[in-house]
Amino acid sequence: MGGSKPKPPKVKYVSSPPPKTVQAPTQAFRTQLELAKVANAQQSKMLERGAELDRVNEEFFAGQDIRRLQAQGAESRLTAKVSGQEQRRTAQTVGEQERLSIGARGIEERKGIITTGEQERLTQAQRGQIETGLIQTRGTEERKGIAATGTEQRLTQGQLLAGQERQIGLTGEEQRKTIGKSAQEQRLTDLQQEQFRRYKEERDYQQSRSAYRS
């Protein structure tokens, strides 16, 4: 045991720190640093100014869009209002024209009915007068014929020739009377027709004046 050698102590090596580089600022470096700071500040201000201008532009164009939309809406409402007024005026005008037309047609129809009734009554009255006159004339002629026949039958056979001659004379006279009566009736008929024609012309003239006034 006495012959063992002691272990040598461990030696700890400590490395030395790396050398520090010490920069000595120069005047050119400081100038460059200040210029960089100024440039950065100017760039920041420009960015802020650009952002502010963008916001102003956005607000301006947004306001313009709103005003344009408002103007379009007002114009649309005005157009719709004017169109509605025009449509209502047109509908009122058409309705008034239709009512006037219906009223005018009704008046004309009533006038036509009244005029037709008056014409029919006048025609029937005139026809009745003419028929009455013809009946009276035929009755008178028949009575005259019967009276003449009775007178002739009461005549004697000795007076037959004279009676026949007288009968011939009477027959001629009756024929002349009949012809005269027929001519008179024809003149009366012509006069009535002329009066009816003048009445119709006057009535048509009055109707035309009434229609023109309405």
Q: What is the pLDDT of residues 26-60, one digit of tens each?
A: 677 778 888 888 888 888 888 888 888 888 888 88
**Nearest CA-CA partner of 196 in 127, 136, 135:** 127
pLDDT greater than 60 at residue 1: no
Task: Give the range of the structural domain holding residue 84, as residue numbers without chain letter.
Answer: 30-213
Give the pLDDT score at 157.
63
Residue 10 within a domain: no
Give the pLDDT score at 72.
83
Residue 16 within a domain: no
Residues above pLDDT 70, as percent of the chain: 79
Q: Report which DSSP code applies to 158.
A: G
* Count: domains in the chain: 1
Span 141-165, average pLDDT: 69
Q: What is the 3-state secondary structure (H, E, C) of 14-79?
A: CCCCCCCCCCCCCHHHHHHHHHHHHHHHHHHHHHHHHHHHHHHHHHHHHHHHHHHHHHHHHHHHHH
Yes or no: say if 133 and 185 are a contact pair by the CB < 8 Å rule: yes
Residue 19 within a domain: no
Residue 139 within a domain: yes
Residue 21 within a domain: no
Q: What is the per-residue pLDDT across 6-17, written as a single tens digit (0 to 9) for each?
A: 665 555 545 555
Q: Which amino acid is at 131?
A: E
Residue 191 within a domain: yes
